[in-house]
Amino acid sequence: MSSDNRSIPQGLKEVLNIGAKKMNPKLIAFSGIVTAFLGVGIGFIIAYLLPSPYTSPMYKDLAQKYAIIGGISGLLIGSSQEMVRELKEERDMEEELMQELEQAIRSTTNKKDY
């Protein structure tokens, strides 16, 4: 058999050119920072809406402590959510490429059967 008969069809070549998408660290950092600011705001709001009835030194500056906890939580949640979103996009692209590959394989095998 000659190499021309065994060459890969054009449609299949396009499907096989899979480029792995890398995560965008700037977008992940931006999402984390934005949600961190939201977390800080929520921490301040909680501290002022729910004042502590205790007078112990441990309960002083609760607004600052809640803001720090809210900011850290927001940073973690925001960056994690963005990473999951990007991984989902990549997975969806891979699933679409696999479907196209299956269709290309079926179309080439159906042509050979006739």
Cβ atoms within 10 Å of 75's Cβ, excluding its own = 20
pLDDT at residue 54 in the model = 81
The model's pTM is 0.66
- Interhelix angle 25-49/62-113, rounded to 10 degrees, is 140
* Average of per-residue pLDDT across 6-33: 69
Cβ atoms within 10 Å of 15's Cβ, excluding its own = 19
pLDDT, tens digit, 9 for 90 and up, residues 66-109: 999 999 999 999 999 999 998 898 888 888 888 888 888 888 77
